[in-house]
Amino acid sequence: MRAFALFLLAVPLLAQHGRYLSDSKHPSIGNPQAIAAGTKLFMGSCAGCHGPDGGGGARGPNLVRRSLWHPLSDDAIFQVIRKGVPGTDMPPTALNDELTWNLVAFIHALTGPASTNPVPGDPAAGKSVFWGAKAGCANCHAIRGQGGHTGPDLSNVGGGRPLAVIREAVIEPAKDLYYLGNEAATVILRSGKTIQGVAKNRSNYSLQLVDTNGSLHLISMGDVKQLTLSASTPMPTNYATRLSKDELRDLFAYLAAQDTRADARKDSK
């Protein structure tokens, strides 16, 4: 069973600790009560343009993806909320400081690295899901050197990706073509040999292909008779039905906890 192949590699790398240039020391950041209050504000005033999950709408940009390539500080987000963005559909608001910081706290939790924000679920139970046969995640993905190698290593997925991006990559892996640059491929060589796997670092001159056994093939395009790239992601698209809601919740909690920086800090103690 091909499972979990090609997760998040096509998403740009985040700035240092995630999407932030600098984290605010304001007490609302990371405060569950402030985040809950900010959630209500966002759903009532912002979701109409930016989508209920920050994924964008008809008038507002995708906040989660935008944070991946254009990191902001909490203070900058505060100013955008209060003053708006001239020349766009983003208006200024009349929220007081407390309410504005509640909204910033929610956006921080929505778009910051999953490992730095409260995530519901049981990571221990999620570990069993990840390494179990039902989900089959480890067939293609490795964590700390264990698992498959067809898909990207997920050892730092929680330390480098927002929870919304992790969730979307599992539930809707073909959305916005996450798999581009890592397509499922079938190569027929001039020798007659056929290799199936995942195409990586492809150019007009060479191809790196990881086959279904996890072996890396370095192929000159001059030796290729036919290259067929899949029009869809090799990542399974049925996790929303394959796994229960509790299993998905716990799986996300486990993935969110994968943070190599946090692991290094633990090891140094």
Q: What is the pLDDT of residues 111-153, one digit of tens each?
A: 778 888 778 899 999 999 999 999 999 988 899 999 987 777 8
Q: What is the pLDDT of residues 166-224, one digit of tens each?
A: 888 898 876 654 444 567 789 999 999 999 888 877 788 899 888 877 788 999 999 99
In the prediction, which pLDDT does 178 show?
A: 43
Yes or no: say if 130 and 137 are a contact pair by the CB < 8 Å rule: yes
**Residue by residue, what is the 3-state secondary structure of 126-147?**
HHHHHHCCCCCHHHCCEECCEE
Structural domains of the chain, with CATH = 32-111 (1.10.760.10), 123-177+240-268 (1.10.760.10), 184-229 (2.30.30.100)
CA distance 221 to 144: 33
Q: E strand or H helix at 20, and its extent?
A: none
Nearest residue to 115 via CA among 265, 264, 14, 262: 262
Mean pLDDT, the chain, rounded, equals: 81
- Alpha carbon distance, N-terminus to C-terminus of the chain: 40
Q: What is the pLDDT of residues 69-88, one digit of tens each?
A: 556 788 988 999 999 988 88
Phi and psi at residue 226, to the nearest 5°: -150, 135
pLDDT (average), residues 85-99: 90
In the prediction, which pLDDT does 54 show?
A: 80
Does the pLDDT at position 35 exceed 60?
A: yes
DSSP-based three-state secondary structure for 62: coil
pLDDT (average), residues 230-252: 88
